[in-house]
Structure 1
Amino acid sequence: MRKQELHTCTRYSLGAACFRTRGEFLEIEFENAYIVLEPRTLVVEAPIASHREAVDERRKRVIVEFREEIKPLTPNRIDFVGHATLGLFEVRITDLDFDTYITIVTPGGHYYDYVVVSKRLLYVEMSAKKKTYYEEEPNKKLILYIV
């Protein structure tokens, strides 16, 4: 059975961010970044400065800092503003004077609860029991594996 694909764009800063869903996968595209959310993996293709973890007794947070700000796409169209359900994902856009945030609540089968993308960083939150492993190409690509 073929998985239905959805392609949509939203207002992001002064341009757009575009999303593509296929089953349990969500792709987010910007002018200078590409992010893929999979059930047990996150792929970040962007100018990456660093990544780190913050862990307490219940939650683990992974923070990826970008070397330069994420740039919006030049929009061909805007399909939604503010909030949308894209396949299995819930997406919220918060546009403040100083930054724009995309919050993605993931489906129950994912090993992480939600992801926040701003112009300068990507933030992933999950249970502290999850183990994380990284594969990286310096300044270009980071793959986060969660088990």
Structure 2
Amino acid sequence: MRVQELRACTRYGSGAACFRTRGDFLEIQFENAYIALEPRTLIVEAPIAAHREAVDERRKRVIVEFGEEIKPLTPNRIDFVGRAALGLFEVRVTDLEFDTYITVVTPGGHHYEYVVVSKRLVYVEMSAKKKTYYEEEPNKKLILYIV
């Protein structure tokens, strides 16, 4: 069975953020950043300043901070505003006066429940039982492995 690829762009700040999904894979493209969501991996290619974890008895949160704000793409088109189902993913865009947030709710097979992307950071939420490992190219790329 062939898995269909979907592409869509949404309003993001003064421009756009574009998505591509195929099966349990989703990528988000900005002018100066790229984020890929896979079932056990999250890839962030952007000017990264730092990353940290916050853990309590039930939840683990990974925060990746950018060294500079994410810049929107120049839009060729806008396919949705606010909320959309992109394949197995649910994407919600919240545009506030001071920032724009993209929330991606992941499918059940992913090892994390959701990801929030703002102009300054990526926030990943998962069960506290998950172990996280990092591969990093300083200031360029971070790969988060979740097992």
**TM-score bracket for this pair, using the shorter chain length:** over 0.9
Q: Distance in 2 between the 1:21 and 1:11 partners?
A: 18
Distance 1:79 1:51 in 2: 32
Distance in 1 (CA, whole Å) between partners of 2:63 and 2:117 is 10
Q: Which runs of 5+ in 1 are unaligned?
A: none
Structure 2 residue 96 is matched with structure 1 residue 96: yes
Deviation at 1:3, TM superposition (A): 1.4
Moved over 4 A (4+): none
Q: TM-score, structure 1 length as denominator?
A: 0.99
Matched residue, 2:137: 137
Question: Take 1:23 and 1:88, find their aligned partners in 2: how far apart are those partners?
Answer: 7
For residues 101-140 of structure 1, the C-alpha deviation after alignment (integer angstroms, 9 at most, x for no partner) is 0000000000000000000000000000000000000000
Q: Which amino acid aligns with 1:44?
A: V
Question: In the alignment, what sits opposite 2:41?
Answer: 41
Quote the RMSD (CA, aligned, Å). 0.4
Work out the percentage of aligned pairs sharing the same amino acid. Answer: 87
List alignment gaps of at least 5 residues for structure 2.
Answer: none
Name the amino acid aligned to 2:74: T
**Residue in 1 aligned with 2:67?**
67
Question: What TM-score comes out, normalization by structure 2 length?
Answer: 0.99
- Residue 127 of structure 2 is matched in structure 1 by 127
For this pair of structures, how many residues does the alignment match? 147
